[in-house]
Amino acid sequence: MGLLDAKSGLHLVRYGISADQRYLTGEFLGTYDAAAINGNMVAHIPAALAQFLGDRATQAQVKPFIIDPLTHAFQHDPSKICTTVETEEGAETQPKASIRKMSDAFGEPVASRAGTEAVLPSDFNDPGLRDAFCQRVVSFQLDTINNQAQEKKFMKYLRHIGIDGMVPDVVIAPYFWMTPATVGEWQPINRAFIESAAKHARGASVWAQLVITQDLLLSKERRDALAKEYGSSTCQGVLIWVDQFSEHDASYEHLSAFAQFAQALSKTYTKRVINLYGGYFSILLCQLPEVGVLQGVCHGLEYGEDRSVVPVGGGLPMSKFYLPAYHRRLRFGDAVRAIQKLGGFDSVDRYHEIICDCVTCREVITGNPSEDFAAYGNTTPIQFKRGDQVVTLNYPTKETKDLCLRHYLHNKRKEFEASKVATAIDASQELEKHYEGAARLLGAGEAAYLKDWPRVVRGLTARSS
């Protein structure tokens, strides 16, 4: 039985790009339970990933990981997975190399369409083709890193300590994104993938990945139908990804609908449920074992507590600081004002007491907290063209981004650790204490989550008792 099938309060971190690796190792290796590795990374750098996992194997186990096969990538506008390359005949649009390798591994019906046309539900009508596709997606997860690992010298040592290979903790069935307009067509196919994956999983636990729009959650009828469909399937657990679902910006109705949906899967259908893109609200939902809502939460390294299914433009990078009291990343200016109001610049001790005492803040805030805190907001001016005008904007420096991210990751670890000893009701009361201050600073709308999260938690607890 894998970690995802057994443990509660799981903390997963997404390994999205190679640069993420430095924040998943060293001082951070022990801060999370498992890594969620993007399938295109597995296709692109399997040997490096085997090395990454092998180098950190300890106590007769490799750091647990899962591989997100990202099959939904092939259902969107093909340009979203393409890049422009210069050839002798001029600029040419091609699928990104990592996506191409992944689609080649998955075979038809995606291989011939990647980068040229979107995959449709009708492409999976043939049960034989569907099953073969499913088998390849499952094999990709079970074999790609493991095959590389078997060729590494360190396997001799790993076998000595009882590690025979590097297989993911669970296998994820292929999946496609569903909207109100497409759920009727994709749902039967996604369900068939789950059943097919179970046949090809070679004894590994099979999980479903459910990727949906927010409006599918709001309708109780649709929500119940989805819960029944996935709840009655053979999967052990469900990884949920709700498109652009920011726990901080979502309305009470959306938050409540999400929690009720997860609770139905978890409690009514006894599936294990993990939110693939979640923040502190999801951690609170892990603190309700008797209510049965979530068993784990995954987040990315940068702005990774919610995510759009269809990739959107990156926007301009901005300095943001994760304020532990608000459990939220704030624009740097807002963070400064919040700390001023909370009295965090009064002294070093006061900063560490009421703002943050994480490893990074202990390194940074050492003398004059007001001056020292500037390290989290240092920028460098960059000029670029906007229309006909040259515009200068300040971008965070590399060092600033590094400090902000390290501070964020240490705080996520603290949130998960605290969730194991405090009740969700106690944690909710802490949140509510900060509502007025946050509302004065950010506006009532921006701070509403500090009231809405506790309200949802209390509602779940009340319904359960």
Q: 1 vs 393, which CB is nearer to other proteins?
A: 393
Q: 214 vs 397, which CB is nearer to other proteins?
A: 397
Q: How far is the CB of 348 from other proteins (least distance, A)?
A: 16
d(CA 130, CA 235): 18
Q: How far is the CB of 280 from other proteins (least distance, A)?
A: 24
DSSP characters for 285-324? HHT-TTT---SEEEE-SSSTTS--SS---------EEEET
The first and second tokens of residue 29, run together, are 């290796």
Q: How far is the CB of 381 from other proteins (least distance, A)?
A: 5
Binding footprint of other proteins on the chain (CB under 8 A): 316, 318-319, 331-333, 336-337, 340, 370-371, 373-374, 377, 379, 381, 391-394
Q: Which residues contact 166 (CB under 8 A, 6 or more apart)?
A: 50, 53, 54, 62, 145, 146, 149
Number of CB atoms found within 10 A of residue 333's CB: 11
Q: How far is the CB of 363 from other proteins (least distance, A)?
A: 18
Angle at 402 between CA 398 and CA 404, to 5 degrees: 120
The first and second tokens of residue 317, run together, are 């990078």
Q: 21 vs 394, which CB is nearer to other proteins?
A: 394
Q: How far is the CB of 303 from other proteins (least distance, A)?
A: 14
What strands, in cross-sheet order, belong to the sheet with 206-212?
Answer: 65-68, 34-38, 10-15, 296-299, 272-275, 237-242, 206-212, 171-172
Q: 185 vs 346, which CB is nearer to other proteins?
A: 346
Q: 375 vs 418, which CB is nearer to other proteins?
A: 375
Q: How far is the CB of 251 from other proteins (least distance, A)?
A: 21
Give the C-alpha distances (Å, rounded to integers) separating 20 from 47, 69, 161: 16, 18, 28
Q: 390 vs 462, which CB is nearer to other proteins?
A: 390
129 sits in which H/E element: helix 127-150
Q: 203 vs 314, which CB is nearer to other proteins?
A: 314
Indicate the pairing of strand 34-38 with strand 272-275. Answer: unpaired
d(CA 427, CA 415): 10
Tell me which amino acid residue 442 is.
Answer: L
Q: 379 vs 461, which CB is nearer to other proteins?
A: 379
Q: 16 vs 377, which CB is nearer to other proteins?
A: 377
Instruction: Give Dmax (Cα) for the chain.
Output: 70
Q: How far is the CB of 20 from other proteins (least distance, A)?
A: 23
For the chain, helix (H) and strand (E) counts, in that order, are: 20, 14
d(CA 333, CA 335): 5
E strand segments, 119-212:
171-172, 206-212
Q: 273 vs 404, which CB is nearer to other proteins?
A: 404
CB 105 within 8 Å of CB 41: no
Q: How far is the CB of 307 from other proteins (least distance, A)?
A: 22
Number of CB atoms found within 10 A of residue 247's CB: 27
Q: How far is the CB of 434 from other proteins (least distance, A)?
A: 19
Q: How far is the CB of 341 from other proteins (least distance, A)?
A: 9
Q: How far is the CB of 324 from other proteins (least distance, A)?
A: 20
Q: 124 vs 373, which CB is nearer to other proteins?
A: 373
Give the C-alpha distances (Å, rounded to integers) separating 459 from 249, 285, 310: 19, 12, 32
15 sits in which H/E element: strand 10-15
Q: 93 vs 340, which CB is nearer to other proteins?
A: 340
d(CA 253, CA 215): 11
Q: How far is the CB of 398 from other proteins (least distance, A)?
A: 16
